[in-house]
Amino acid sequence: MHYMNANNQQTVSLSPSVLRWALFFMSILHPFSEGVAQKRQKKSAIVSEQPQNFDINQLFSFPNVNKVRYYSDKSQLNRLRKLDKTGKTEQLYPLLWKYVSKFGIDNFRKDTYWLWRLANLTEEKGAFHDAQRLYKLVLKHHHGGVDFQKVQSKYYKMAGRSPKDYVPLDYYYDLISFREKLDTLRPPQGIDLNMGFYVNSNKSDYGPSMSWDNQTMIFTSQRNAVRRSFDPEPNEDLFMIRSLGDGYWDEAVPVKSLNTPANEGSPFLTRDGSKIYFSRCNTPQSYGNCDLFVAHLQADSTWGEISNLGQNVNSVAWESHPSLSPTEDTLYFASDRIGGFGMSDLYYTTKNKNGQWSKAKNLGPNINTRGSEVSPFIHPEYNVLYYSSSGQLINFGEFDIYKAYHLKNKQWTEPQNIGPLVNGRGSEFYFTIDKEAKNLYYAKSIENNMKNLDLYSFPLPMEAQPLATTKLKGQLLDSLSNTPFNDGIVSIIDLDKGVEIAPKYLRDDGTYEFDLINERKYLMVIQGDEFFRIEKIFTLQGDTNFTDATRPISSRMQFESVVFDNNSFELKSAMYYDLDKIGNFLLDNPSFKLKIAGHTDTKGNKQANIELSQKRADAIKDYIEYFGGIKSDRIEAIGYGAQKPLVEEKTEADRVLNRRVEFEIYRDASAEDHRKNDENDPSRW
C-alpha cells in the first residue's frame, strides 16, 4: 500500500513469521548496529575534533547521521554532566557543541536534553537565530526529557511566527467582501477545485505525476477490487489521463501494462517520458512489503522491462513516493525502515557512473521529524523539495505540505509551510506541480477522514512558489507615540501575475514578513480598527524593509484640511484625502459608525449658524456615502452652530478654533461583543 491511515500506519504489512525473520537478520547484519558503530569510531575521525567558530551550518550537517546509529562517549558524557551540574558554561559550551555535532539518528530522541541545553547556552550567548534553529530541532525530535510546552513557547516567541500569524480565510473574506466593487484589495480567489468524476472515483485517488509537457498525468486509484480472501479488497492501480486544455481532462484509463493483482502506485515520469518509477507491493520480486521499481516505455507505447531498484534502495520495510532531481541523478523517496527519525522518513540515493543507484541515505534531522514525512517531490525546473509532514512545527492540519531549498553544502534550508491557501484542517499530500509552477495537483482528505482521498487542483500560491525567496519585512508605528500597532491585517496583492498571497496579522511588535517573487509589482494594504488604512504600490527589488507610520483612531478627531470658506458649505479638493481615509476605515470595519459634528463661531445669526453647520456636516456625509460606498444609517450628521464652543471667543484665533468639524468614530456595544466572539471562535481555524 502506498498511503498511510490516520494512525500513520501502513495498511499492508508483512506476515508475523516473515517479520520475525526479517528483524532477526537485521539485528545481525544491520550496518547501524551500535556495536559496529562504536568500533568504527576508533578507526576514523568521523568529525573534526574542534568546532570551527561555532558555525551553525557546519553543525547542522551532522555527518554521523548516515554513519552511526547512536554516538556515545562515556568519558565525554561524564565531563559534560559535571560541567553542567557545576554551572561552568564557558567550558561546557564548546565541548557540548562538539558532542552534539557527532549525533547519530538515535541521539536525537535519546539525548534530547543535550540538544536543548546547547540551544539554551546558544541563546545565552546572544546567538538568537542559531538558538532558534536548535530549539526547533528539539521540538521536532523530542521524546521526553524536556518541557515541550515551554520550549515551544520560547521557539514561537523567538521565531516571531506561528500558524496564527495567518488570518483565517473565512474571516478575511467576511472582512473585505463588501469592498469588492469599490477597491483594488481582492481576497485570495484561488479555488480548491476537485478534478471531477472523469478523474476521481468513489474510492481513493491520489499520487499524481505530471509529464514534462503537462499533457499527461498518471495517478494511483483504489477504484478496482481484487479477491485476496473471501471478500473483495480495494486494489491500488495506476491510471492515466490526458489534458483537453483549459483545465479539463479526459476520462481516466488504467495503465494495463503496469497493473497487476498486486498494488501499484506513486508513479513518477522522467523528463523525456521514457521511464516511470513507481511502487509495487507484496510481490515475489520485492524485498519488503512495498518496493520501488522502474519500467521502460516500449515501441508500442506500453511499459515493459520492469525491474526492482535493488537492495541499495529498497529494504525489508516499506518504500514509496519516488521523485527524481531535475538532473535525474538523485532519487528521493519515503520509507519506514528501521533506523529512521520517525514513523517514516525521506531518503535519497544517487546514480553512479555505471548507472547504478548507491546506498540510500537519510535526508537528516532538518527535513525528517519524529512524526511522518512522505510524498517528496522535486520541482522539475528548480531544485526545490516539496513534501508532506505530520511532525513540523508550523501546521494547519495533520499532514501539511512544506518546501525546502537545496544549498551548495548539500544541506537543506529550514522547511517552510506553504500556507493555509493549500493546507487545511485535514491532510494534504501525494502531489505534483507543473513545471511552470502555475498549478498544484494533490490529494486531499476532509478533516479526520482518510478513507476517500480525491485529486484536486489549486493555483500555486506565493508561499509555495519556488522563486518566492525575496524577503519583504516591515513595521507599522503610531505616528503620534512612535509605538507599534499590533492589531491589524497585512494584505499583499501581486499586480503583475495575480499569484495569491495569504494575508497575515501584524505581530505583537507591529512587524510583518512575506516571501515574495522579486521584480514584481505589488499592492500592500494594512488595515485595522485602531488606525487609518495604509496602501502602498511598489516594485520589489531585492530584500526590502518598510517602516510606516499612521494616525491612530481616537474617539473624536479633527483634520486641518477640513476647513470651509466663510459662509460656505462647499467641499474643497484638499479635504478629499482625509475624508477618503475615514471612508476607507468604515469600509474596513463594518461594525463602526460615524458621527459628524459641525460647529461655527458665535459671530452672526444663531439660527443661521446652526443651518450652515448642518449643511457642512451633510456635505461631508454625502461625500463619504457616495464615494466611500457607506450606507446612510452608519453616518449621523449634526450641525450645532455655536452651541458647543471650545474656547471663549476674545480674538480671531479663538473664533478659528471654534469653527470646526469633529468626527466621532464608535462601535456599538453589541457589535463589539460579536466581533470578539467571532475572532475567538476556534472553528475558524
pLDDT greater at residue 139 or residue 179? 139
On whether residue 440 sits in a domain, the answer given is yes
Average confidence (pLDDT) over 651-666: 90
- Tell me, yes or no, whether 421 and 371 share the same domain: yes
Range in 474-478, 486-490, 516-520, 676-680 the model is least confident about: 676-680
pLDDT of 602 > 50? The answer is: yes
If asked whether residues 98 and 201 sit together in one domain, one would say no
- DSSP state, 634? G
User: Does residue 5 form part of some domain?
Assistant: no
- Average pLDDT rounded to a whole number, residues 459-487: 94
Q: Looking at the structure, do residues 509 and 577 belong to the same domain, yes or no?
A: no
Q: Is residue 682 in some structural domain?
A: no
Report the alpha-carbon distance of residue 501 to residue 419 in Å, rounded. Answer: 9
- Segment 155-181 shows an average pLDDT of 67
Residue 428: the pLDDT is 84
Q: Is the pLDDT of residue 190 over 90?
A: no
**pLDDT at 575 (0 to 100):** 93
Q: What is the CATH number of the domain that holds 525?
A: 2.60.40.2190
The domain boundary, picked from 464, 484, 503, lies at 464
CA distance 237 to 222: 7
Q: Which triple of cell numbers denotes residue 62? A: 551532522
Q: Which of 439, 464, 489 is the last residue of a domain?
A: 464
Question: For position 453, which CATH number holds?
Answer: 2.120.10.30
Radius of gyration of the CA atoms of the chain, in A: 31
Judge whether 260 lies within some domain: yes
Tell which of 419, 446, 464 closes a domain: 464
pLDDT, tens digit, for every residue of 318-333? Answer: 999 999 999 999 999 9
Residue 522 falls inside a structural domain:
yes
Q: What pTM did the predictor assign?
A: 0.80
Residue 43 scores a pLDDT above 90:
no
Predicted confidence at residue 423, as pLDDT, reads 87
Q: How confident is the model at residue 186 (pLDDT cuts 50, 70, 90)?
A: low
Angle between helices 89-101 and 112-124 (to 10 degrees): 130
Q: Which of 365-369, 392-396, 470-474 has the lowest mean pLDDT?
A: 392-396
146 and 109, same structural domain?
Answer: yes
Q: Are residues 344 and 286 in the same domain?
A: yes
Q: Model confidence at 228, in pLDDT bands (50, 70, 90)?
A: low
Q: Is residue 12 part of a domain?
A: no
Is pLDDT at 432 greater than 80 in this prediction?
A: yes
pLDDT of residue 539: 97
Q: Point out which residues pair with 592 in neighbouring strands.
A: 667
441 with 484, same domain: the answer is no
64 falls within a domain: yes
Q: Using CB atoms within 10 A of its CB, is residue 379 exposed (0-12), middle (13-18) or buried (19+)?
A: buried
**Contact 280/291 with Cβ under 8 angstroms?**
yes
The range of the structural domain enclosing residue 351 comes to 193-464
pLDDT score of 671: 46
Judged against a pLDDT cut of 60, whether residue 470 lies above it is answered with: yes
Pair 280, 395 in one domain: yes
| Average pLDDT of the segment spanning 330-356 | 96
Is 510 in the same domain as 564? no
349 and 272 within one domain: yes
Identify whether residues 601 and 653 lie together within a single domain: yes
Q: How many domains does the chain have?
A: 4
Residues of the chain with pLDDT > 90, as a percent, come to 61
Q: Both 460 and 473 in a single domain?
A: no
444 with 486, same domain: the answer is: no
Average pLDDT of 621-638? 93
Distance CA 317, CA 372 (A): 15
pLDDT at 171 exceeding the cut of 80: no
Task: Quickly state the pLDDT bin for 173 (edges 50, 70, 90).
Answer: low
- Whether the predicted pLDDT of 668 surpasses 50: yes
Torsion of CA 254, 258, 263, 264, to 10 degrees: -90
Burial state string for 244-267 with b = 16 or more CB within 10 A and e = fewer than 16: eeeeebeebeebeebbeebbbbbb
Task: Kindly report the average pLDDT of the chain as a whole number.
Answer: 85
CATH of the domain at 109: 1.25.40
At residue 23, the pLDDT reads 39
628 lies in some domain: yes
Give the mean pLDDT of 151-170.
Answer: 77
The band of 346, judged by pLDDT with boundaries at 50, 70 and 90, is very high
